[in-house]
Structure 1
């Protein structure tokens, strides 16, 4: 709900999140391979879980980036009054 206190040009940092997720994905793949090759199955499994989390996060970020900008009310539309409880 708009209260009028949010910035007029607020944008999500999806591109930064994309690059951070990609960086985490690369390191998780590297960690999984390195720990698997050195015979550390516990650490390899932990890195594999991080690999899964980074992949899901990357998919969510890409989906939101492809959706494009959504409608935001302009300056001519007054903010909504907060609900009174």
Structure 2
């Protein structure tokens, strides 16, 4: 059901992004280390850039989570206006 207020009531999966960023951070650090040890500077640089991007994303996600319900509404906030009836009947 669409109510027309989706941008106002939209939710963001910040906790999912947090865990995916942590997972990506671990893999990027691992890749940078391994490719550096294997003397593959191109791949090490690519993993290093990915590491920096992941750190920036992780920082933004943590910042938005700390801002509270403004960015991440609680479970008691419905994702849309409840259907009051009348339309579509």
Shared fold per TM-score greater than 0.5: yes
Instruction: Give secondary structure in 2 for the equivalent of 1:69.
Output: helix
Give how far 1:10 is off. 3.6
User: Cα deviations across residues 9-40 of structure 1 (Å, max 9, x unaligned)?
Assistant: 64210000001111110000000000000000
Match of 2:20 in 1: 20
CA-based RMSD of the aligned residues comes to 2.8
User: So what's the TM-score if we normalise by structure 1?
Assistant: 0.73
Higher RCO (C-alpha under 8 Å, 6+ residues apart): 1
| Ranges in structure 1 where 5+ consecutive residues have no aligned partner | 76-85
User: So what's the TM-score if we normalise by structure 2?
Assistant: 0.70
User: Cα deviations across residues 42-63 of structure 1 (Å, max 9, x unaligned)?
Assistant: 1000000000000000000000
C-alpha distance in 2 between matches for 1:8 and 1:56: 26
| Ranges in structure 2 where 5+ consecutive residues have no aligned partner | 74-80, 82-89
Match of 1:55 in 2: 55
Higher helix proportion, which one? 2
Aligned residue pairs total 72
Shift >3 Å, 4+ stretches: 7-10
